[in-house]
Amino acid sequence: MERFLVFVHLSLAIILLGCQQNVRSQAQLVSPESPAAANDSITLGRQTAITRAVETATPAIVSVNVIELQQIRYRDPIADFFQDPFFRQFLSERQSRIIERRVQNLGSGFVISPDGYIVTNQHVAGNASKVTVSLTDGQTLDAELIGADKATDLALLKISPDRPLDYLRFSESPEPIVGEWAIALGNPFGLFEAAAPSVTVGVVSATERDLGSKDGRIYHDMIQTDAAINRGNSGGPLINALGEVIGVNAAIYSESGGSVGLGFAVPAARAQRIISELRETGRVDRFYYTGISFVAVTAQIAEALDLEDTRGILIADVDSGSPAEEAGLLPYDLIVGLQDEPISNHDDYVARIFDFRPGDVITYHVLRDSRRMQLSLQIGRREG
């Protein structure tokens, strides 16, 4: 019995010793850190996916400075004081003439290759007589305009750096996720040329937004974001939390001229295709030919043809021997869709077909005598 009691006491002593050792170990783990270690811990905690994406993307952002020669028609105000035909004969040369002026434009862009190819907007650099690009390290280099596409508002520049440049990659995802982080980088209002870009953060508010056309530019299937985009941000990238380009900032909706949380970017997939064509040939091949003539569907036409509404475009004529005739399209067919995308009016049709090239085969969704049909058409080429 005494031996048993001795064993129990020894066992308790060992267990208690172990507990005390554990307590000491835990106390050592939670001991106060040095100020330097605490600062390092806080700094690490401040880093997020957004800060890492910005750190990766920043060296590839550029400011684009453009000088453009514009021709404008000038009317001499003196001529307005002499409305009498007798005086006009002496002032005819002064009444109206074309003058040329130099206009400076500012925007943003981003490097897409180590040898200096740069993406920006067509409305920034598409009509430039001289372009310079400022890098974040302070360098300013002359740039060559490789090509521009007004319809998609994209342009490609080339600089000749003395070293390989950091560059951005386009996202390979079909489209961004609505609600995911969206980060806009650029040089708003040209305030910070040859410096690190400004960063604004929001989310992808929506995809496939159609804004219609403006000045020959077709803004359809755009990415909408609430990341602040202002004048000067045009041509800069919209990136995700991985640092990948999901869009090229192109437009804002604003009554004041400043950001109200409605910014729009050209999706990465479309930008990649356009930029590849500009890089290879300097232009986008849109000399397509279908052989179709259209008329808008008015209320009177809809009533005459017993249509439910005015959505769609009506084929007025089909050229003999044209791709449209070979596809089986006929006058009075109502085109209501293209490649599974709805067509409500002529602007919709132009926006959709501009995504295709001569040789592509596309599906027309038509309504003929109240019957829905699908017809395949291979786009031809119109030389010129």
Does the annotation count 348 as an active-site position?
Answer: no
Contact 271, 158 (CB under 8 A): no
Q: Write down the catalytic residue from 63, 108, 123, 355.
A: 123
Q: Write down the catalytic residue from 63, 149, 153, 221.
A: 153
Query: What is d(CA 62, CA 119) in angstroms, rounded to the nearest whole number?
Result: 10
Does the annotation count 9 as an active-site position?
Answer: no
Give the other-Cβ count within 10 Å of 81's Cβ. Answer: 10
Residue 104: DSSP 8-state: E
Contact 140, 131 (CB under 8 A): no
- Tokens standing for 39? 């600062």
Contact 237, 231 (CB under 8 A): no
Contact 166, 111 (CB under 8 A): yes
Q: Write down the catalytic residue from 108, 134, 234, 259.
A: 234
Does the annotation count 234 as an active-site position?
Answer: yes
Contact 113, 227 (CB under 8 A): no
With vertex at residue 283, the alpha carbon angle to CA 289 and CA 341, rounded to the nearest 5 degrees, is: 50
Contact 238, 227 (CB under 8 A): yes
If we measure between CA atoms, which residue out of 172, 136, 117, 129 comes closest to residue 54? 136
List Cα–Cα distances, 239 to 171, 178, 229, 316, in angstroms. 9, 13, 13, 44
Active site residues: 123, 153, 234
